[in-house]
Amino acid sequence: IIPDIDVGFAVRDEEVESVGLFTLMRDTISTINHRYGTERVRYTVILYGNINTTVVQFSNRNIDHQELISTVTELGRVPGAIDLEAKLTAAEALFRSLPSRAGSKKVFIVLTDVTAGGNESTITSAGASLVREGILVFSVNRSEDGTNVVTVTQIDYLNIPTFTTDRSVVIAETIIRKASS
């Protein structure tokens, strides 16, 4: 039996149309629901970037790619340069503020469509406050050539090394393993 888990996926507005990224998220959710049922895990997508940070609650219903795209379109762009760390910090603060079930584990996953490279330190820095509060944080980055090879970078220092995989089942099991430990 697994604990109650609240999973938040953070997706930047500029990457919300990525079919590969959406498929990765959907397949990860489907794997968790298939293996562990739908009662113990709740899902949220937090959209951030050149928009006002917002949350899309979909709990256990099927997530719809067009719904995410239209949400970003309806929000409109905020003018000016983006401060990735500030926007990601705002996304994490929004995730932290969401109601959670008593005793549930929170997992925050930053999804990006290209290898983070220079952004990895930004993601790590922005995630530090969540880690201090006991929220598990890791980033999932698709490869630069657009294939489904995914690099999972651990940010919570729980002795699970950074690894590369092309299987959403590995990401799903990493979420469950980390939340159950």
**Residue 146: predicted pLDDT:** 55
Determine if the pTM surpasses 0.75. yes
Low-confidence ranges of the chain (pLDDT < 50): 115-118
Is the domain spanning 5-180 CATH 3.90.1720? The answer is no
- Contact, 5 vs 176, CB < 8 A? yes
CA nearest to 58, candidates 48, 49, 73, 71: 71
**Residue 140: predicted pLDDT:** 73
Tell me the angle at which helices 19-36 and 65-75 cross, rounded to the nearest 10 degrees.
Answer: 130
**Residue 10: predicted pLDDT:** 85
